[in-house]
A and B are shown apart, each in its own frame.
Chain A
Amino acid sequence: MTTMDMTPVVKGGGGPELNKRRRVYKPNTKHVPILATLLLLVIMYSAGAANYRNFDDPSVIVNLFRDNAVLLVVAVGMTFVILTGGIDLSVGAVISLTTTLTATLLQGGWPPLVVLPAVLLLGALIGAGQGAVIHFFKVEPFIATLAGLFLARGLALFINQHSIPIRDKVWTAISDYRIELPIGEDGVVTKPIAIVAVLAVLIAAAVLAWTRFGRNVYAIGGNADSALLMGLPVGRTKIAVYTISGFCAALGGVLFSINSTSGWALQGNGLELDAIAACVIGGVLLTGGSGFVWGTLLGVLVSGLIRTIINFDGGLNSAWARIIIGVLLFAFIVMQRIVTRKAK
């Protein structure tokens, strides 16, 4: 049998010389979305500073972290999930469950040092459960976490549909605690929750860049089948990212309860969308395998800054925040599309 492919010649792919030339611009494409988001952030900030009095006060930026601490923590967890190519719709509901449960338990006189780990563990368990269903039973992440959403919010409403005040000493003490940062002339005051959120970002960034687990997350998002054939623990990693996301959501819930010294089952409604939007604006590809926690951080700051500007302006309808985020989503998605197309 004379097969013509006996000595195949690969052309167009190119040898090493060609490849070297090609990769001059390539590594940048990964960073383009992040740089664009950063640029946008700078422009928005400058525009705000030019138009509104006191907008350039350092506290504006510091307060961004305080006001968006919950979103930031949740979005960090979401980043892990999206990097594997999944999605977690349950985070908002997990927040409502945690705040309700925290408030109820504290009201029932449970010691705070028991309540805190208990609710965090619960969040992680819900996440792990979803991950297990997704991995073992091959249920779509969308559907599995939708079930998680119903379950968590249902449980929260079942426990109590009303807002429950928290009077626990530890909780109120943390809530009232202020940290002074040596920024600017007079220093800037912020709350512990902002510090927690920043820590979450730092830890996540380190995990993703420097640990095997972190790289496995990227590998799975790039090509799950290949990852499996390369002997990577795909199932374990998948379950782990949903566990992390559940944990982050629970942490977000705790921050919520600290910030508002109350728990409410309607808290965090729709937050999953804001988190996903922040990831996308920050350049995390929803198909998985590409993106950085730093990008997510920028995405959160952008959406926070939009709200800040609307607050400063006073005359704008708050509905504009949603519309502008929608427009940004559009712009960034189209940009990602163009960049990835070029790369091909």
Chain B
Amino acid sequence: MTILKNRLFWPSLILAILLGINMFTSQQFLMIQDGHLFGTLIDILRGSAPLILVALGMTLVIATGGIDLSVGSVMAISGAVACLLISELGDQNSVGSVLLIIGIAIGASLLLGLWNGVLVAAVGIQPIIATLILMVAGRGVAQLITEGQIINVRSEPYATLGSGFFLAVPVAFLIAAAAVVLTILLTRRTALGLLLESVGGSPTASRLAGIGARRITIMVYVVAGGLAGLAGLIYSANIRSADSISAGSLIELDAILAVVIGGTALIGGRFSVAGTVLGAILIQTLTVTVVAIDIRPEANLLFKAVVVVALCLSQSPDFRAKVFGRFKSRPAAREVAAA
């Protein structure tokens, strides 16, 4: 019974079922070929890397009670910056130059995150509106950078980011895994997680407890920007080009979805990095599964809709109350203990 009440029970169950379906339907679920791991499972892991990265940043932002709609645009800009600079290189295969360019692109993303953070924390604009600005304008900026073209690059070091392998494991997945581990360390081994949850739980009370809420809030937007930039690089490295129109298109929705599936409430406060990763992998698995079981790929969105509805309803206390009638009292009941 307790396991059923765990917020991650249903997402985990759905993920397990989807993976199960994949195991049966695909001949190549997990195998080794040319010294690389290979198969549907690996596809899922590699494909989910950008979403995991974006959703990680989103988790921290949402924990503070905010939201970042601009992540898709940041992805597009970072990919555009990187590909433009690489395409102008004399030797596109120069590892040093590519690393430098990656650094520049991520630096630009951090700056964009800073912009969001300042609007939210210093100017005091509602997060959904503040980040809407960059969401709208950012894609325009990306289009300006690429001059509306798709910039192709032929840089092997860059492509490694998206499709390379290291120790038989996809590099993209390693990057995402490293980011996850870093985030967990950063939030749970330091006091950052507690302070984030405190700011998300009550900004006023946090300020009066001496927490520098403003700095922390700005920081999470910066981190979210950087992670989105990294995701944009992986995305563009994977297709070896910058596509300012479709890079990161609608990814903010998937990322928010992943966070919600992972059990972090949109109003802020308690957050779960592990839950978010589970959510992101679930979404990616869903995409892959729909293709694998030979349903028309267009049905992907339909499936997503069904999953979103099912999950949100299963996590809605009011739905449970109304459908299963387990709790009789109204939502206001929570505050009564103190009244």
Q: Which residues of A contact B (CB under 8 A)?
A: 87, 89, 133, 136-140, 142-144, 146-151, 153-155, 157-158, 161, 273, 276-277, 280, 286-287, 317-323, 325-327, 329-330, 333-334, 337, 341
Contact = CB atoms under 8 A, between A and B. Distances in A.
B129 interface: yes
Contacts of A137: 312-313, 316, 318-319, 322
Interface stretch (B38-46, B105-113, B119-127): B119-127
A139 B320 CA distance: 12
Interface size class of B (residues with CB under 8 A): 35 or more
Nearest to A93: B301
A329 B304 contact: no
B123 A147 contact: no
10 contacts: A143-B260, A151-B305, A151-B309, A277-B132, A317-B147, A319-B141, A322-B143, A323-B141, A323-B144, A325-B137
Contacts of A146: 253, 256-257, 308
B317 interface: yes
Contact of B316 (A139, A147, A280): A139
A216 B253 CA distance: 30
Contacts of B137: 322-323, 325-327, 329-330
A333 B148 contact: no
A324 to B, nearest CB: 8
B140 A154 contact: no
Contacts of A138: 316-318, 331
Contacts of B141: 319, 323
B270 interface: no
A308 B198 CA distance: 48
B240 interface: no
A143 B266 contact: yes
B129 A333 contact: yes
Interface in B199-231: none
Residues of B contacting A: mostly: helix
B296 interface: yes
Nearest to A158: B298
B304 A319 contact: no
B181 interface: no
Contacts of A89: 253
Nearest to A140: B266
The CB with the most chain A CB atoms within 10 A, among B136, B144, B257, is that of B136
B75 to A, nearest CB: 15
A101 to B, nearest CB: 14
Contact of A286 (B129, B134, B301): B129
A150 B304 contact: yes
Contacts, number: 134
A325 to B, nearest CB: 6
Nearest to A322: B140
B81 to A, nearest CB: 15
B300 interface: yes
A151 B133 CA distance: 26
A329 B132 contact: yes
B76 to A, nearest CB: 11
Contacts of A330: 133, 137
B318 to A, nearest CB: 5
Contacts of A326: 133-134, 136-138, 140
A283 to B, nearest CB: 13
A139 B125 contact: no
A333 B130 contact: yes
B99 interface: no
Contacts of A143: 256-257, 260, 266, 308, 312
Contacts of A280: 129, 132
A151 B302 CA distance: 5
Nearest to B304: A150
Contacts of A341: 124
Nearest to A330: B133
Given A144-B312, A158-B299, A319 B143 contact: yes
Contacts of B302: 150-151, 154-155, 158
Residue among A87, A137, A151, A286 facing the most chain B CB atoms (10 A cut-off) = A137
Most buried by B among A138, A150, A155, A317: A150
B126 A286 contact: yes
Contacts of B322: 136-137
A334 B256 CA distance: 25
A337 to B, nearest CB: 6
Closest 6 CB pairs of A and B: A326-B137, A322-B140, A154-B301, A154-B302, A319-B143, A151-B305
B77 to A, nearest CB: 12
Interface string B309-338: 100110011110010000000010000000
Contacts of B305: 147-148, 150-151, 154
A142 B312 contact: no
Point out which of A157, A319, A321 has the most chain B C-beta atoms below 10 A from its C-beta.
A319
Contacts of B148: 317-319
B135 interface: yes
B128 interface: yes
Given A273-B135, A277-B132, A322-B143, A287 B299 contact: no
A322 B136 contact: yes
Contacts of B129: 280, 286, 329, 333
A329 B136 contact: yes
A314 to B, nearest CB: 15
